[in-house]
Chain A
Amino acid sequence: MKAKKRTGTIIYHIFVCGFGLLMLYPLFWMFMSSFKETNTIFTTARSLIPDPFTAENYANGWEGFAGVSFATFFKNSLFVSILGPIGTLASSACVAFGFARCQFRGKKILFAAMLASMMLPGQILMVPQYLWYEKLGWVGSFAPLIVPFCFAIQGFFVYLMMNFIQGIPRELDEAAKIDGCSYYGIFGRIILPLMSPALITGAIFSFMWRWDDFMSALLYIDDPNKYPVSLALKLFCDPGSSSDYGAMFAMATLSIIPIVLIFIFFQKYLADGIATSGLKG
Chain B
Amino acid sequence: MSDERGIADYLPVATLLRLLLVLTLVYAPHVTHLPLWETGLLVALLIWRALAATRQWRMPPRALRVGLVVASVGGIYASYGHVSGQTAGTALLCLMGALKLVELRARRDVMVMVFLMYFMLVTHFFYSQEIWTSIYLLVSCVAITALLIECQHLGALPPRQTLRKAGVMVAQALPLMLILFVLFPRIPGPLWGLPADAGATARTGLSDSMSPGDIASLIQTDAVAFRVHFDGPAPPPEQRYWRGPVFDFFDGRTWKPSWISRQPLAADAVRYLGQPVRYEATMEATRMPWLLALDLPSDRGLPDDVRLNHNGELLARRPVIERRRYTVTSYPQYALDPQLDARARQRLTRLPKGRDPRTLALAQSWRAQGLTDRQIVDAALNMIRNENFVYTLRPPALGADSIDEFLFDTRRGFCEHYSSAFTFLMRAAGIPARVVTGYQGGTLNALGDYYVVNQADAHAWSEVWFDGSWHRIDPTAAVAPNRIEDGLSAAIDSADGLPAYLAHRTAWRDALKLRWDWLNARWNGLVLGYGPELQQQFLQRFGLGDLRSMILALTILVTGTLALVGAVLMRRAAPARTQDPALREWQRLTRRLARRGLPAHPGEGPRDYIARVQQTHPEWCDALQTALDLYLSSRYLDTPNAARVAELRRAVTAARI
Same assembly: no
Residues of B near any A CB (own CB < 8 A): none
Residues of A near any B CB (own CB < 8 A): none
